[in-house]
Amino acid sequence: MMLSHASSMVYAVRPRDVRTNAKKKSAKDKARKAERAASNKKELESLTKRRESVDDGEGDDDDAVAAPAPTMGKSAPYESTDIVMHTLALGGSYKAKTGEKLLRGNVLVHEAASALFNAPFVCASHDADDTFNYGNKAALALWELDWDGFVGMKSTKSADVEDATTQAERRALLDKAASDGLITNYSGVRMSSTGKKFRVENATVWTMTNGDGVKTGQAVRFEKVVRLNADGSDGDAMVVNENGEWVKDVVAPPAEDEIVDVDAVKALVAELSAQVEAQAAVVRELKDNGGTNADDDVKAAVSVLLDVKAKLSEAEAKLA
């Protein structure tokens, strides 16, 4: 049987066509590889340029040093280019404000995001509008939220929104950090997304600024909290371990030359607790009479409350 011309075109494949198609495919593959290489090179150049200028005027970020381009295609939100740069800004601003490194040792640029996210302490920050723009693993676990639930949340929600005293204290803290640039040894009550309250211990709060000194946000670092029972009494003390996970704090017994006079400390705790309650009542009264966080008398009252609570925290720590 004779095949028609059209049929022969369907079934007959010439060697020349195979070679031509193979060459075309090879050329496309090479073009794709070249395009990916150019993209990687461009991102590295951009990252390096931004690394050199991040937080200009606030000191170099010694927590991160130059390194090859980061691996492409990572899905973790904290490894996006914007968050990597924010990580470097956090490290640079912390070093400028405290003189210390946020992360231990020399961390490569492409490792900085992962190192801070999994750090053995809480690190969180919000922008100039008090909206969270970063929270590491320990922070997310503490507030019982995932990345998308925490980032974008107003910082007012990090504490009990119905507790006027706590909110006034929180606002005063941020205002003081904005004016002073840095607050250390802070202690205050916060609340998780499920309603669990805890007291932050020995926190460092600092203000982030751009090269012109304009406030761009604020950040916090701490590694210990005390869980609060339903009646407000202290529960377990918790710390962040080397894997960025919360574990119970194991308190070593005091050395022989640090023996605590328990009765005296208990008396001091009782006295300071009474002062805290009295000063909290003063703040509530001012607020009930129309006072706002912007009023000088409210700010002064809250500042006194913060000081007394800090002393109470130190005294209570001696009994732990």
**What is residue 154's DSSP assignment?**
B
To which CATH superfamily is domain 118-317 assigned? PAS domain (3.30.450.20)
Using DSSP, state whether 118 is helix, strand or coil.
coil
Taking a C-beta distance cutoff of 8 angstroms, is the pair 263, 318 a contact? no
Give helix then strand counts, H and E, for the chain: 9, 10
pLDDT of 296 over the 50 cut: yes
Q: What is the pLDDT of residue 146?
A: 97
Phi-psi region of 259 (alpha: psi -120 to 50; beta: other; left: phi over 0): beta
Name residue, tokens 């377990």. Answer: 236
Residue type at 32? R
Q: What is the pLDDT of residue 100?
A: 94
Pairing relationship of beta strands 224-228 and 197-209 according to DSSP bridges: antiparallel
Name residue, tokens 């607020």. Answer: 287
Q: What is the residue extent of each domain of the chain?
A: 37-117, 118-317
Read off the pLDDT of each residue in 30-35 and give the average, rounded to a whole number: 60
Instruction: Encode pLDDT of 268-291 as tens digits.
Output: 989 999 998 998 898 889 888 988
pLDDT of 61 over the 60 cut: no
Read off the pLDDT of each residue in 168-193 and give the average, rounded to a whole number: 92
Read off the pLDDT of each residue in 17-26 and give the average, rounded to a whole number: 53
19-28, 86-95, 170-179, 250-259: segment of lowest average pLDDT: 19-28
166 versus 21: the higher-pLDDT residue is 166
Instruction: Say what percent of the chain tops pLDDT 70.
Output: 74
Query: Can you tell me the distance from the alpha carbon of 216 to that of 210, in angstroms, rounded to the nearest whole number?
Result: 6
Q: What is the pLDDT of residue 149?
A: 97
Q: What is the mean pLDDT of the chain?
A: 81
pLDDT of 95 over the 90 cut: yes
